[in-house]
Amino acid sequence: MTDYRKRTRAVHAGTRRSQYGEVSEAIFMTQGFVYDSAKAAEQRFVKIEGDEFIYARYGNPTVAMFEDRLASLEGAEAAFACASGMAAVNGALTSMLKAGDHVVSSRALFGSCLYILEEILPRYGVEVSFVDGKNIDEWKAAIRPDTAAVFFESVSNPALEVVDIAAVAELAHAVGAKVVCDNVFATPVYSDAIAQGADVVVYSATKHIDGQGRALGGVILGTEEHIRGVVEPYMKHTGGSLSPFSAWMMLKGLETIELRVKAQTQSAQRIAEALSQEGKLAKVLYPGLPAHPQHDLAMRQMGAGGTVVVFDAGSREAAFAILNALDIVIISNNLGDAKSIATHPASTTHQRLPEAQKAALGITPGLIRLSVGLEDAEDLVEDLSRAIANL
């Protein structure tokens, strides 16, 4: 499969067929597996050979198909599927860190990621230094000889700040630190994170991988040695594994991910360009627009602007008025969905943060995050223009 292009691998990689030769992947909805003898059970607990399984918290054939397909897409040696994106972020970090370690993290993070870095890791004796992820000098100053890991969202939620993976990886690798990259906004379609220097890539599969708003899921990708030796023991004993049924949905989601994400990105570009012409908006941010401060980096790193557009209505009242006036675009808080979704981060996903921290992260009272779906782009432009004209 590695010789084929991404779109082909997204349809076929990782497939395991049962004795029935099914076309669509089977859902192995089982927590356990039967052994031929007591001796065989003992042997499997000593060493799992090939395509053997013990217990669904450790692994399952449907989950393994999803892991192998995504690892193939990402160009990673191995993957471990998790119950949610946050189980993946937490597992990726906690599995490799111990008390006394030092971590450098970008400050601009999704609220729950920030909670892990700001609240949970320090509670267990891990020191975390925060930097402006856009500023390579800040990374340089913060990374120390004893830094064990760096963490960032390659495109931040919600302010769409782009982190230079290759530049940060060079600094981190110089001191032997692991690079952990939350790549949700880049999506597996536009990601080349491992080639660019990431050691561990994390996705919330709840977003573009499912892509149709059905289930939570996550995944941690990396080398065979790291996933099997560090991540798997932590995940299988702490219980954050993905259900086989959700893995099956994610697996089917991967078959269409390239078509969906490319169509959504094309619409996002069209919408960002249209919103830029709206005189009533204070700001429009989209990495695919030449006006985005890191447009060149985004194009070099991902080759596209992605599926999320952010704009500032100027005030909380104006933002609420726009959200309430939208007809097609729904108010919710997922992203990467077939349905276009508008979110007001200041009052929802990032509500917990003090006002000063919101301001430092660019989460202004008027900011709206728009996840562009699969509807007709012109209908979306008209829906947004109508809602904005109401102001």
Ligand X SMILES: Cc1ncc(COP(=O)(O)O)c(C=O)c1O
Nearer to ligand X, 153 or 383 (CB): 153
CB of 109 to ligand X, least distance (A): 7
For the bound state, the minimum distance from the C-beta of residue 372 to ligand X, rounded and expressed in Å, comes to 15
Q: Per CB under 6 A, which of residues 105..164 are in contact with ligand X?
A: 110, 112-113, 153, 157
Least distance from ligand X to the Cβ atom of residue 140, Å: 24
Residues numbered 172 to 201 that lie near ligand X (CB under 6 A) are: 182, 184
CA distances from residue 351 to 110, 111, 320, 325, 354 in whole angstroms, order as listed = 11, 8, 15, 22, 8
| Spatial separation of the C-alpha atoms in residues 228 and 129, rounded to whole Å | 28
Q: Which residue is nearest to ligand X (CB)?
A: 85
Please say which residue, 158 or 197, places its beta carbon nearer to ligand X.
158
Q: Which is nearer to ligand X, 90 or 196 (CB)?
A: 90
Task: Tell me whether residue 113 or residue 284 sits nearer to ligand X (CB atom).
Answer: 113
Among 15-23, 36-44, 85-93, 289-297, the segment contacting ligand X (CB under 6 A): 85-93
Distance in Å, CB of 235 to ligand X, minimum: 14
Residues 25-84 interacting with ligand X (rule: CB under 6 A): 84
Nearer to ligand X, 26 or 323 (CB): 323
Q: Which residue, 274 or 350, has its beta carbon nearer to ligand X?
A: 350
Q: Considering the rule CB under 6 A, would residue 308 count as an interface residue with ligand X?
A: no
Binding residue for ligand X, selected from 59, 85, 305, 345, defined by CB under 6 A? 85
Provide the minimum distance between the beta carbon of 95 and ligand X in the complex, in angstroms, as a whole number: 16
Positions 214 through 243 that interact with ligand X (CB under 6 A): 216, 218
With CB under 6 A, what is the number of residues at the site for ligand X? 15
Minimum CB distance to ligand X, residue 182 (Å):
5
Of 30 and 112, which has the nearer Cβ to ligand X? 112
Nearer to ligand X, 110 or 139 (CB): 110
Rule CB under 6 A: which residues touch ligand X? 84-86, 89, 110, 112-113, 153, 157, 182, 184, 204, 206, 216, 218
